[in-house]
Amino acid sequence: MFRTFSVFICSNHQIIIELQTPQKNNSMNKRDFIKTSMVVGAGTLLSAPLISSCATGTVKSTALLTSLVPYGAAGFEQQPLAYAFDALAPNVDAQTMELHYGKHHAGYTKKFNAALEAASIETTDIHEIFANISSSPAGVRNNGGGYFNHALYWNFMSPDGGGEPGGKLLTAIEKAFGSLDEFKQKFSTAAATQFGSGWAWLVLDEEGTLQVSATANQDNPLMDDAEIKGTPLLNIDVWEHAYYLNYQNRRKEYITNFWKVLNWDIVEKLYVEAIG
Ligand code: MN
């Protein structure tokens, strides 16, 4: 027997009704529910088991986010860094930036384009790629995430960063987390406690609520199988290559200093665009 249901209205006017059936242990933990979904559209009722989001992704494409992952003649491209390799020192050192941008991110970019070609995926819409990632080869997931996550990360840091956000973003953070400090604590904890390699995120979820999450490896909140799906507004890389040269094993110190270079301006712009 179905106990609860959720209704999602997609941007493409599909309506998805998600029915949740508790498993035998009667746990109320959401993860223990078996989900069955139906897509309702154009007067038809189609059974579509295990759909948990709109067919083309519930997270709409946004111009600013898309501009951070430009597509050109060679496929997806790395944006030039907006600052010099040593501009974030001592919070992020020059050698780490040079290797991270010039080797790690460049490598993901090259391999992502190769993986797309090998899988005959021709779309240039990165939202669409991640909305179908669970049915894509691992190379598309790992290198696509590596390409996209880093493209955002460079923009979240600036030699003019630090301080506090303002406007609608600050209001939304205070509403969601209680205060800016409580948000920073929650985000820092998510980053510090992510086991192994991964990322922490501030996400505008599918219900329009701000949430903090963490993802393993190069996964991100645009992926259709992410635990918390939504529009990414902020991330921090907690792979060891992001901090080990400067901080060795002191990941917490790297996270503390990340706030000193955080470019709130682009976080606010992404938020305003996402709610618009
Ligand atoms: Mn990295």
Quick one: 123 and 196 in the same domain? yes
Q: Ligand 1 mean position to 32 CA, how many Å?
A: 33
For residue 181, the CA-to-ligand 1 centroid distance in Å is 26
Structural domain contains residue 161:
yes
Separation of 150 CA from ligand 1 center, angstroms?
6
Same domain flag for 11 and 112: no
Q: Examine the domain organization and report whether 128 and 173 are in the same domain.
A: yes
Asked if the model's pLDDT at residue 28 lies above 60, the reply is no
The CATH number of the domain where 68 resides is what?
3.55.40.20
Do the domain assignments include residue 77? yes
- Asked whether residue 247 falls in the same domain as residue 268, the answer is yes
Whether 269 contacts 98, CB under 8 Å: no
Give residue 105 CA to ligand 1 midpoint distance, Å.
Answer: 7
- Please, which pLDDT band fits residue 55 given cuts at 50, 70 and 90? very low
User: Do 49 and 73 share a domain, yes or no?
Assistant: no
CA 198 / ligand 1 centre spacing (Å): 9
pLDDT at 19 over 80: no
State whether 201 and 152 are in the same domain.
yes
**Count: domains in the chain:** 2
Residues 213, 219: contact at Cβ < 8 Å? no
Co-location of 259 and 124 in the same domain: yes
Cα 241 to averaged position of ligand 1 atoms, centre (Å)? 6
Q: What angle do CA 138, 129, 270 make, to 5 degrees?
A: 120
Give this prediction's pTM: 0.80
Do 117 and 17 lie in one domain? The reply is no
Closest CA to 213 of 227, 223, 231: 227
Give the Å distance between the CA of 237 and the centre of ligand 1.
6
Percentage of the chain with pLDDT > 90?
76
* b/e burial code for range 38-60 (CB count within 10 A of at least 16 → b): bbeeeeeeeeeeebbbbbbbbbb
Residue 216's pLDDT band (cuts 50, 70, 90)? very high
90 prior amide bond cis, ω within 30: yes
Q: Are residues 214 and 92 in the same domain?
A: yes
Regarding whether 211 and 149 lie in a shared domain, the answer is yes
- Residue 240 burial by CB count (10 A; 0-12/13-18/19+): exposed, middle or buried? middle
Q: Report the pLDDT value the prediction gives residue 274, as an integer from 0 to 100.
A: 94
Centre of ligand 1 from the C-alpha of residue 132, in Å: 23
* DSSP-based three-state secondary structure for 76: strand
Q: Is 43 among the domain residues?
A: yes
Question: Considering the domain boundaries, does residue 158 fall inside one?
Answer: yes
Cα 91 to ligand 1 centroid, rounded to whole Å: 16
Domain contains 32: yes
Helices 180-193 and 251-261, interaxial angle, to 10°? Answer: 140
Buried b (16+ CB within 10 A) or exposed e, 70-108: eeeeeebebeebebebebbbebbbbebbeebbeebbeeb
Interval 137-149: pLDDT, tens: 999 999 999 999 9
Would residue 58 count as lying in a domain? no
pLDDT for 85 equals: 98
68 Cα: distance to centroid of ligand 1 (angstroms): 16
**Domain identity same for 196 and 122:** yes
Report CA(35)–ligand 1 centroid distance (Å): 34
User: Is 37 inside a domain boundary?
Assistant: yes
Asked whether the predicted pLDDT for residue 114 surpasses 70, the reply is yes
| Closest alpha carbon to 58 in 21, 19, 20, 7 | 7
Instruction: Note whether residue 113 is domain-resident.
Output: yes
Q: Are residues 78 and 42 in the same domain?
A: no
Interval between CA 204 and ligand 1 midpoint (Å): 22
- Domain carrying residue 28: 4-53
